[in-house]
């Protein structure tokens, strides 16, 4: 009886142990599931938070100060650059001394009349460092001789834009305006050239004109107009005075008497003679520019004009 009782108690104990293990396993599974759910929830939350943080970080980067402590603004930077360029002479901004007013040294304007000129700078070219430097050229005279401006450095050079068909030019040659000046300065270091940029002229026509008027100076042939455009010659006559250093110190009208007519209440003034006299006296040119008068230079017609 006693043995049977012990056997029953043993079975019950085993059953209790199995039940306890099962319960423990069930609770463990549930705990793991809960833990897994909690882990997934935390991971998702962390992932979401990380994404939000990245967005916030990017947003903060955009709002962050630049290296100079100021917020970057590309539009403002572009505007600032434009404004800076507008103020910078090197970028084409306004520059003190521009225009037709004389510069402090008496030359033809602070920024030079050549600022807007269009010319071929090769092979002959002016000194880019000096805006008043006379563009160099190589042309032939009426006899076919080659003339280089560079060969006359150290002398005063006068360039007279010329067209034998122009009434204003004809009036001066009838009065011998230029011939008299050349004769006046014959013993001085002054060289005079007429430049004919008329597209239809010929060396023979210039030669005939020079012989007819017994000119003591050469007429240079510039039928392609490159030299005339280099100097921005507008009219015939349009005269340029170049000093011994190769700088243009006067350009414009010959005098104040177009076709020989002096305006009322004025006395005759030859601006070219005045400029050359001042140079020879080692004085600054007091009148560096006077609006030229005469016929327009007859440059070769453009394709649109043909």
Give, to the nearest 10 degrees, the angle between helix 177-184 and helix 167-175.
Answer: 50
Same domain assignment for residues 33 and 174: no
Tens-digit pLDDT profile for residues 62-103? 333 333 333 334 333 333 323 332 333 322 333 322 233 333
CA dist 180 → 56, 86, 185, 244, 293 (Å): 87, 49, 9, 22, 20
| Cα gap 105→150, rounded to integer Å | 23
Strands laid side by side in the 239-242 sheet:
146-148, 138-140, 218-221, 190-196, 156-161, 239-242, 248-252, 289-290
Same domain assignment for residues 45 and 168: no
- What is residue 192's predicted lDDT score, i.e. its pLDDT? 98
Does a structural domain hold residue 305? no
Boundary-marking domain end, from 55, 72, 89: 72
Does a structural domain hold residue 262? yes
Same domain assignment for residues 54 and 143: no
Same domain assignment for residues 166 and 215: yes
Report yes or no: 209 and 141 within 8 Å, Cβ to Cβ.
Answer: no
Same domain assignment for residues 134 and 277: yes
| Cα gap 104→98, rounded to integer Å | 12
Instruction: Report the number of distinct structural domains present in the chain.
Output: 2
Same domain assignment for residues 64 and 122: no
- What is residue 64's predicted lDDT score, i.e. its pLDDT? 38
Q: Using alpha carbons, select from 275, 216, 266, 215 the residue that is nearest to residue 242.
A: 275
Same domain assignment for residues 45 and 112: no
Tens digit of each residue's pLDDT, the chain (306 residues): 444 444 444 444 444 444 444 444 443 444 444 444 443 433 343 333 333 333 333 333 333 333 333 333 433 333 332 333 233 332 233 332 223 333 333 333 333 343 333 333 333 555 567 899 999 999 999 999 999 999 999 999 999 999 999 999 999 999 999 999 999 999 999 999 999 999 999 999 999 999 999 999 999 999 999 999 999 999 999 999 999 999 999 999 999 999 999 999 999 999 999 999 999 999 999 999 999 999 999 999 988 887
- The whole domain housing 250 covers 103-296
Q: What is the mean pLDDT of the chain?
A: 72
Does a structural domain hold residue 62? yes
| Cα gap 279→289, rounded to integer Å | 15
CA angle 240, 246, 251 (to 5 degrees): 15
Q: Is the pTM of this model over 0.75?
A: no
Does a structural domain hold residue 243? yes
Q: How many residues does the chain have?
A: 306
Report yes or no: 244 and 154 within 8 Å, Cβ to Cβ.
Answer: yes
Give the CATH number of the domain where residue 275 resides. Answer: 3.40.30.10
Q: Structure tokens of 98?
A: 């521009």
Does a structural domain hold residue 218? yes
Does a structural domain hold residue 98? no
CA angle 212, 219, 192 (to 5 degrees): 105
Same domain assignment for residues 136 and 215: yes
Does a structural domain hold residue 85? no
């Amino acid at each position: 009886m006693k043995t049977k009782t012990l056997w029953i108690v043993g079975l019950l104990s085993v059953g209790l142990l199995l039940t306890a293990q099962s319960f423990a396993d069930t609770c463990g599974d549930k705990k793991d599931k809960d833990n897994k759910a909690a882990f997934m929830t935390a991971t998702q939350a962390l992932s979401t938070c990380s994404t939000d943080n990245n967005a916030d970080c990017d947003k903060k980067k955009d709002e962050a100060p630049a290296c100079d402590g100021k917020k970057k603004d590309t539009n403002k930077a572009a505007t600032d650059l434009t404004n800076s360029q507008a103020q910078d002479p090197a970028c084409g901004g306004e520059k003190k001394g521009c225009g037709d007013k004389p510069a402090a040294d008496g030359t033809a304007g602070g920024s030079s009349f050549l600022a807007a000129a269009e010319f071929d700078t090769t092979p002959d070219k002016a000194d880019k460092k000096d805006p008043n430097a006379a563009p160099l050229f190589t042309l032939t005279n009426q006899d076919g001789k080659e003339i280089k401006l560079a060969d006359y450095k150290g002398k005063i050079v006068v360039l007279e834009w010329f067209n034998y068909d122009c009434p204003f030019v004809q009036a001066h040659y009838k009065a011998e305006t230029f011939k008299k000046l050349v004769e006046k300065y014959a013993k001085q270091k002054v060289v005079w050239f007429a430049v004919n940029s008329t597209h239809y002229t010929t060396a023979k026509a210039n030669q005939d004109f020079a012989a007819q008027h017994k000119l003591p100076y050469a007429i240079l042939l510039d039928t392609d107009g490159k030299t005339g455009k280099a100097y921005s010659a507008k009219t015939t006559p349009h005269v340029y005075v170049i000093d011994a250093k190769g700088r243009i110190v006067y350009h414009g009208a010959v005098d104040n008497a177009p076709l020989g007519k002096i305006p009322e209440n004025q006395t005759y003034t030859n601006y070219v003679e005045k400029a050359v006299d001042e140079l020879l006296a080692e004085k600054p040119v007091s009148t560096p520019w006077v609006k030229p008068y005469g016929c327009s230079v007859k440059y070769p017609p453009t394709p649109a004009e043909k």
